[in-house]
Chain A
Amino acid sequence: MKITLLDCGVSNVASVERALQRLGAESQCAVTAECVERAEALLLPGVGHFEALIRVLNERKLRAPLCDAIRRGVPFLGICLGLQALYDASDEAPEMAGLQVLPGSVRALPAVAKLPHMGWNRLILKNQSQLLKDIDADAHFYFAHSYAAIEQGEETVAACSYGTEFVAVLEKENMCAVQFHPEKSGEAGAQVLRNFMRLCA
């Protein structure tokens, strides 16, 4: 199955694509609504600003096809900002509506620790996870963000603690998302991508 990467011009899609290719996945980059409508599996990478990502999704008319695909059961993986975009809104750009697939708002991490939360951190497992299958419980993953989904829902399978606990991995039927960067997280990150590829197969 081919994984379609949404290229919103604001993130380093190339590094995710390189990581997938290294693992033997077939992938393509998409910038049009038609590509999203036809996608067999979708991946939304993201670094940078919430406002920039949502603006591009709106301008390129990708919002509706993306939400439809997730509701239709197309396997989906959001990375970093691609996780945050799923919620109603974000403190980073209060005037922009998120994709509203999940309820609640993305919040700024509390300034009790150095920000951005940048570097390798561990997860706190909350629920049985498909994405974290065959990964050591004490594995580290690479994070680089200042905002996070603080409120944990049923879909939260792992959290991370940095100043406060926040959603690190979520899974809800076909929809998965991670706050860390699997493409930058060494072997543990590669296993997360392999597990997603298995869910797509």
Chain B
Amino acid sequence: MSLARRIIPCLDVDGDRVVKGVNFVGLRDAGDPAQLGARYNAGGADELVVLDIAASRDRRPTFLETIRRVAAELAIPMTAGGGIRSTEDARAVLRAGADKITLNTAAVARPELISETSLEFGAQAVVLAIDAKRDGDQWVVMVRGGRDSANLDAIAWAKQGVALGAGEILLTSMDRDGTKSGFDTALTAAISSTVSVPVIASGGAKLPEHFAEIFTAGHADAALAASIFHDRIQPIRELKEFLSARGIPVRLPC
């Protein structure tokens, strides 16, 4: 089976700008979303994730315009989310040019949102985003941009989300996010071996070895990172050549 492991840059967007921060705080400007999107499209990214980190109602039109501008630059799939609370919100994001939506806080509050959007747009268009944090011997689900605990076990929630119709899991380790100390292999392996859908690992990536580890020991289907790509610390092409040399199937762009 030669399905390539995917490398996915993530644009955290506040209105019409890409921002970045450590552990969801201390945000600073990281560029124009359309320009970055074009760079990743040409640079060998397999997909792009665009998240509205403010997710406020009044800035929604700006975010949708950002999706439109990014979509115009891409010949690869785009996943977009942040603040999607209804099927109509999801439709607006897909109409603007996204191929998939992410659901997070609103799905925890009302899990039927997963089945409603899955029935309407297909499971392949619905990504359940889970922000997980270690708590004793388990991982708990965090909501509202990582601020509040949802008092939910992350593994149980992932299983429930897939049963409701999610076609993919975007799994962010809140413990590792922004630390550049490597992906959370134990968390990713635990979720990936439990669910029947692809899992995107997120949070903590810096070195090529981190990616190799999350695709092998972590059983991730895709790996996501932001600042190491934005800051050109890790060119995607070189990362893929590194992985390919270690026998990990990747799509090497021409």
A and B physically associate: yes
* In the assembled complex, B22 has its CB within 8 A of some CB on chain A: no
**Is A136 interfacial (CB 8 A cutoff)?**
yes
B1 contact from A142, A144, A161, A184, Cβ within 8 A: A161
Residues of A within 8 A of B218 (CB): none
A153 at interface (Cβ–Cβ under 8 A)?
A: no
A145 at the binding interface (Cβ < 8 Å): yes
B254 interface hit (Cβ, 8 Å): yes
How distant is B45 from chain A, measured CB to nearest CB, in Å?
Answer: 9
Instruction: List residues of B (120-167) whose CB comes within 8 Å of A's CBs.
Output: 121-125, 167
What residues of B have a CB within 8 angstroms of the CB of A114 in the complex?
196-198, 221
Given A15-B97, A18-B72, A120-B3, A187-B125 contact (CB < 8 Å): no
User: Judging by beta carbons under 8 Å apart, are A186 and B253 in contact?
Assistant: yes
Decide if the interface of chain B is mainly helix, strand, loop or mixed: loop
Contact B123 A15 (CB under 8 A): no
Contact A140 B4 (CB under 8 A): yes
With both chains docked as a complex, state the minimum distance between the C-beta of B219 and any C-beta of chain A, in angstroms.
Answer: 10
Cβ B124 vs Cβ A184 within 8 A: no
CA distance A162 to B251 in the complex (A): 16
Q: Is the CB of B46 within 8 A of A116?
A: no
Is the CB of B168 closer than 8 A to any CB of chain A?
yes
B6 at the interface (CB under 8 A from A): yes
User: Are A118 and B4 closer than 8 Å at their CB atoms?
Assistant: no
B residues in contact with A183, CB < 8 Å: 75
A189 and B95 CA atoms in complex are apart in Å by: 21
Bound-state CA distance A115–B122 (Å) is 12
B251 near A140 (CB under 8 angstroms)? yes
Cβ-based interface call for B77 (8 A): yes
Q: Which residues of B contact A190 (CB under 8 A)?
A: 75
| A residues contacting the other copy or chain, number (CB 8 A) | 37
Q: Name the A residues within 8 Å of B75 (CB-CB).
A: 19, 22, 183-187, 189-190
Is the CB–CB distance between B125 and A119 below 8 Å? no
Pick from B95, B196, B198: contact of A111, CB under 8 Å: B196
A residues in contact with B77, CB < 8 Å: 142, 144, 181, 184
Q: Is B71 an interface residue when CB atoms closer than 8 A count as contact?
A: yes
List the B side residues contacting A185 at CB < 8 Å. Answer: 75-76
Given the known interface contacts A117-B3, A118-B168, A162-B3, the answer about A14 and B221 at a Cβ–Cβ threshold of 8 Å is no
Q: How far is the CA of A153 from the CA of B72 in the complex (A)?
A: 37
Residues of chain A contacted by B94 (CB below 8 angstroms): 12
Task: Indicate if the CB atoms of A12 and B221 lie closer than 8 Å.
Answer: no
Is there a chain A Cβ closer than 8 Å to B222's Cβ? yes
Q: Are B72 and A120 in contact (CB under 8 A)?
A: no
Q: Which of B121, B167, B254 contacts A118 (CB 8 A)?
A: B167
Q: Contact flags (1/0) for B1-13 with A, using CB distance below 8 Å? A: 1111010000000
A residues less than 8 Å from B71 (CB atoms): 14-15, 18
Residue of A nearest to B2 (CB): A122
Cβ of B189 to closest chain A Cβ, rounded Å: 14
Q: What's the minimum C-beta distance from B172 to chain A, rounded to whole angstroms? A: 19
By a CB distance below 8 angstroms, the chain A residues around B41 are 186
Is B198 within 8 A of A118, CB to CB? yes
- B99 interface residue, CB < 8 Å from A? yes
List chain A residues, Cβ under 8 A from B254: 136, 187
Flag whether A146 is at the interface (Cβ < 8 A).
Answer: yes
List residues of chain A with CB within 8 A of the CB of B251: 120, 140
Question: Which residues of B lie under 8 Å from residue A122 when comparing CB positions?
Answer: 2
Cα–Cα distance between A190 and B76 once the two chains are bound (Å) = 11
29 residue pairs A–B, Cβ–Cβ below 8 Å:
A14-B95, A15-B71, A18-B71, A19-B75, A48-B121, A111-B196, A113-B3, A114-B196, A114-B221, A115-B197, A116-B197, A119-B3, A119-B4, A119-B46, A119-B198, A119-B221, A120-B4, A136-B254, A140-B4, A142-B77, A144-B124, A146-B124, A161-B2, A163-B1, A184-B75, A184-B99, A185-B76, A186-B41, A186-B76
Known A111-B196, A113-B3, A118-B124; 7 more pairs at CB < 8 Å: A12-B94, A18-B97, A120-B3, A144-B124, A184-B76, A185-B75, A187-B254
User: Chain B: residues with CB nearer than 8 A to chain A?
Assistant: 1-4, 6, 41, 46, 71-72, 75-77, 94-95, 97, 99, 119, 121-125, 167-168, 196-198, 221-222, 251, 253-254
